[in-house]
């Protein structure tokens, strides 16, 4: 019988992020406490999001609104890396980016964790920005998924192509 496998990836559904961004923009434009503060949120390129407001407090509040919308759409906050607020003229600006893919150091950490604490006979190999985990037993793969879900690697992990 062939080995069973699954892939560990860190990807974000761009459409869901776009929906969350539009919901946050709509809320910023209609909420009473954001009137006249110049609070806005927009795409700044393909993977970056820019928030703008006249005060740093309103900027942080706008960021919280956006994070709330991401959570409602089942997007992990680990997938959004918010930068530091910077003053730009009369307003404050914050640029955040979406974190996609597993870096090589994180992939090494994950595969070491699987080797050290996972069931025997489970192999993990790095394939670009994802990790393929294989084993003869499906139960071992389930144990590896549970092990990785309980560990915090600082990135959002998804488990796909389970076969």
How far is Cα 12 from Cα 129, in angstroms, rounded to an integer?
Answer: 13
Q: Which domains does the chain have, with CATH numbers?
A: 4-11+102-160 (3.30.70.860), 14-98 (3.30.70.990)
30, 31, 149 from 71: Cα distances, Å: 20, 19, 17
Digitized pLDDT (tens) for each residue of the chain, 163 residues in all: 568 899 999 998 999 999 999 999 999 999 998 888 889 999 988 889 999 999 999 999 999 999 999 999 999 999 999 989 999 888 999 999 998 889 889 999 999 999 999 888 899 999 988 899 999 998 999 999 999 999 888 888 889 988 8
The dihedral sign for the CA sequence 97, 34, 65, 85: positive
Q: Which pTM value belongs to this model?
A: 0.84
Q: What does the longest C-alpha to C-alpha distance in the chain come to? A: 66
**Dihedral in degrees, nearest 10, Cα atoms 49, 52, 55, 61:** -50
How far is Cα 149 from Cα 137, in angstroms, rounded to an integer?
Answer: 19
**Dihedral in degrees, nearest 10, Cα atoms 25, 40, 17, 15:** 70
Q: Which of 11, 2, 6, 3 is nearest to 147 (CA)?
A: 6
Helices marked H in the chain = 14-30, 56-72, 104-117, 138-150
């Amino acid at each position: 019988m062939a080995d069973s496998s699954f892939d560990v990836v860190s990807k974000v559904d761009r459409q869901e992020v776009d929906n969350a961004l539009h919901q946050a923009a709509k809320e910023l434009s209609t909420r009473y406490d954001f009137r006249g503060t110049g609070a806005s949120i927009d795409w700044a390129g393909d993977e970056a999001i820019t928030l703008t407001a006249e005060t740093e407090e309103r900027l942080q509040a706008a960021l919280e609104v956006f994070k709330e919308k991401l959570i409602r759409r089942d997007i992990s906050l680990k997938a959004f890396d918010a930068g530091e607020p910077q003053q730009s003229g009369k307003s404050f600006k914050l640029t955040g980016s979406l974190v996609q893919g597993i870096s090589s150091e994180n992939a090494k950490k994950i595969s070491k964790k699987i080797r050290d604490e996972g069931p025997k006979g489970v192999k993990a190999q790095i394939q670009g920005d994802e990790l393929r985990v294989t084993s003869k037993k499906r139960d071992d793969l389930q144990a590896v998924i549970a092990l990785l879900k309980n560990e915090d690697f600082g990135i959002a992990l998804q488990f796909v192509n389970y076969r």
